[in-house]
């Protein structure tokens, strides 16, 4: 796309929340000013709803391929950022479509997938999304206050998020003090009694969803010892030869961790904390304490696999296993939620039905990121996914299936609409004030940043001297 004649002349990001990178949220405006389009005298105006990686990669692809950071994208002369705007509430998708030639929905997957088992509403059961939001300073999760007084925690799911949670639960507090984990979370983790974390998956080692980087961080975590079940790895050595390189390297590390003693015996003997991957298990029920007030354990169904490789399917055998624990964290996946009644939505797959990012039966509407594909892949997957959506849009403009000949008001009319409704957007320069304050607060304690934990605090900082 770098050699394309079209010049997008203004991209603006509107967001539902006010947050830091990776939590910035929800809404891009775009394309105004004079432009250089081979097919039209009018410069295309595009609105991107979202501001996570998928939104920024989509914007990056539309503006200029050589831009390689989200901050550069947000600061680009043809891009504007508007935070604190809730699409579907403060402004409708229909209103955005009236103001822009195209609207890209890229607001991610904010919902939790339910386990669908008895007892999942007991105290002591949390979603990984909320638990991560708690220690990362997401305002909506600041009141979570998880009870960490138990010895054993069980994490359901074996993706990168699951291992990240396990690492935070078991990391020495001196290591966590050097990160941007919030002060309330640090204080809670310093008092934590959790000494053993089991990371449970319904399939086997060859189907595990994490990447080697996250597994290596767990293997190398100070003062911890891996606790694996050797029987889970039967036949895995023979299967190595048929695996592709990334999967092969990951599996070899798991095998080494499970079947050999990693590191010196003395270090292992001194370890006071333990973690382990448990395979071929599915949650059947969360077990309550005698008073039925909180979690006391989890009942796991034992699985066998039908098929082989990454397409193997887990089937319950009827055998069960009970694990005593006081903390259960569900990391079985995120799901997208509908944003506006006017937008088609597949509630079973939890995605917007689309063809290469073109939303079905909705001309001028596009999607990217997890809303497009479901919650799958790593950051490179999201990047390519977003670039593909941008490519689809450009193709539609070239072919004339996306009409950009009519003049559109873009952010001018949307800003007026929001002002009338009493909604004050936060610009990227406002967001940078928040970023600066957080980093200065962090400097005082030797951390990368100390986060503001409420939207009210963020708005006070953002609007100062405006």
CA distance 91 to 94: 8
Residues 45, 186, single domain; the answer is: no
Residues 298, 158, single domain; the answer is: yes
**What value does the mean pLDDT of the chain take?**
86
In a domain, 437, yes or no: no
Residues 26, 49, single domain; the answer is: yes
Average pLDDT, stretch 346-370? 93
Residues 166, 177, single domain; the answer is: yes
Which of the 8 DSSP states describes residue 351? Answer: B
Strand partners, 354: 359
Number of Cβ within a 10 Å radius of residue 115: 19
Residues 146, 282, single domain; the answer is: yes
Residues 208, 69, single domain; the answer is: no
For position 465, what pLDDT does the model report? 73
Residues 223, 237, single domain; the answer is: yes
Sign of the CA dihedral with 308 first, then 312, 315, and 319 last: positive
Q: Name the strand (E) or helix (H) holding 251.
A: helix 245-259
- 114-145 confidence digits (pLDDT tens): 899 999 999 999 999 999 999 999 999 999 99
Residues 386, 328, single domain; the answer is: no
Domain of residue 210, residue span: 115-333
CA distance 19 to 322: 40
CATH code of the domain in which 36 resides: 3.40.50.720
Number of domains, the chain: 2
In a domain, 465, yes or no: no
Q: Are 461 and 83 in contact (CB under 8 A)?
A: no
Q: How far apart are the first and last CA of the chain?
A: 38
CA nearest to 337, candidates 347, 329, 328? 347
What is the Cα gyration radius of the chain? Answer: 24
* pTM (predicted TM-score): 0.83
Tokens representing 287?
Answer: 């077990």
Strand partners, 152: 196
Which of the 8 DSSP states describes residue 228? Answer: -
If DSSP codes are grouped into helix, strand and coil, which group holds residue 175?
Answer: helix
Q: Is the pLDDT of residue 296 over 90?
A: yes
Residue ending a domain, among 424, 442, 459, is: 424
CATH code of the domain in which 171 resides: 3.50.50.60
In a domain, 312, yes or no: yes
Q: Are 258 and 234 in contact (CB under 8 A)?
A: no
Q: Is the pLDDT of residue 157 over 90?
A: yes
In a domain, 5, yes or no: no
- 215-240 confidence digits (pLDDT tens): 999 999 999 999 999 999 999 999 99
Compute φ and ψ for 435, nearest 5 degrees. Answer: -60, -45
In a domain, 433, yes or no: no
Q: Is the pLDDT of residue 375 over 90?
A: no
CA distance 243 to 219: 22
Read off the pLDDT band of 379 (50, 70, 90).
confident
Residues 136, 16, single domain; the answer is: no
For position 398, what pLDDT does the model report? 92
For position 376, what pLDDT does the model report? 80
CA distance 74 to 27: 12
Residue ending a domain, among 333, 356, 376, is: 333
In a domain, 466, yes or no: no
């Amino acid at each position: 796309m770098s050699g394309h004649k079209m010049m997008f002349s203004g991209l603006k990001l509107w967001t539902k929340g006010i947050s830091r990178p990776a939590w910035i949220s929800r809404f891009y405006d775009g394309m105004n000013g004079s432009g250089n389009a081979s097919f039209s005298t009018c410069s295309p105006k595009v609105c991107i709803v979202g501001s996570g990686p998928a939104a920024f990669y989509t914007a990056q692809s539309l503006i200029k391929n050589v831009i390689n950071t989200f901050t550069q994208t947000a600061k680009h002369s043809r891009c504007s950022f508007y935070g604190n705007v809730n699409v579907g509430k403060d402004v409708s998708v229909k209103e955005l479509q009236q103001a822009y030639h195209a609207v890209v929905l890229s607001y991610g997957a904010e919902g939790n997938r339910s386990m669908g088992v008895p007892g999942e509403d007991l105290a002591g059961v949390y979603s990984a999304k909320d638990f991560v939001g708690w220690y990362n300073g997401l305002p909506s999760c600041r009141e979570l206050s998880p009870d960490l007084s138990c010895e054993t925690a069980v994490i359901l799911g074996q993706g990168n998020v699951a291992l990240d949670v396990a690492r935070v639960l078991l990391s020495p507090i001196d290591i966590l003090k050097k990160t941007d984990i919030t002060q309330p979370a640090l204080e809670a983790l310093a008092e934590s009694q959790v000494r053993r974390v089991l990371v449970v998956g319904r399939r086997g080692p060859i189907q595990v969803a994490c990447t080697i980087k996250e597994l290596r961080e767990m293997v190398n975590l100070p003062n911890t010892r891996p606790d694996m079940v050797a029987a889970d790895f039967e036949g895995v050595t023979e299967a190595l030869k048929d695996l592709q390189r990334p999967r092969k390297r990951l599996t070899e590390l798991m095998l080494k961790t499970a079947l050999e003693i990693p590191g010196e015996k003395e270090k292992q003997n001194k370890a006071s904390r333990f973690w382990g991957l448990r395979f071929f298990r599915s949650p059947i029920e969360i077990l309550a304490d005698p008073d039925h007030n909180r979690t006391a354990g989890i009942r796991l169904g034992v699985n066998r696999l039908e098929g082989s490789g990454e397409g193997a399917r887990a089937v319950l055998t009827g055998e069960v296993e009970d694990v005593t624990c006081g903390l259960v964290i569900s990391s079985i996946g995120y799901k997208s939620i509908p944003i506006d009644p006017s937008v088609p939505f597949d509630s079973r797959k939890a995605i917007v039905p689309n063809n290469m990012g073109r939303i079905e039966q909705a001309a001028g509407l596009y999607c990217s990121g997890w809303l497009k594909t479901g919650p799958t892949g790593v950051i490179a997957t999201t990047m390519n996914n977003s670039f593909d959506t941008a490519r689809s849009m450009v193709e539609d403009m070239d072919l004339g299936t996306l009409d950009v000949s009519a003049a559109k008001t873009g952010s001018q009319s949307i800003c007026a609409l929001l002002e009338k409704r009493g909604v004050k957007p936060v610009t990227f320069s406002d967001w940078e004030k928040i970023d600066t304050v957080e980093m200065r607060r962090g400097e005082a304690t030797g951390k990368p940043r100390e986060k503001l934990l409420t939207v009210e605090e963020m708005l006070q900082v953002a609007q100062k001297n405006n």
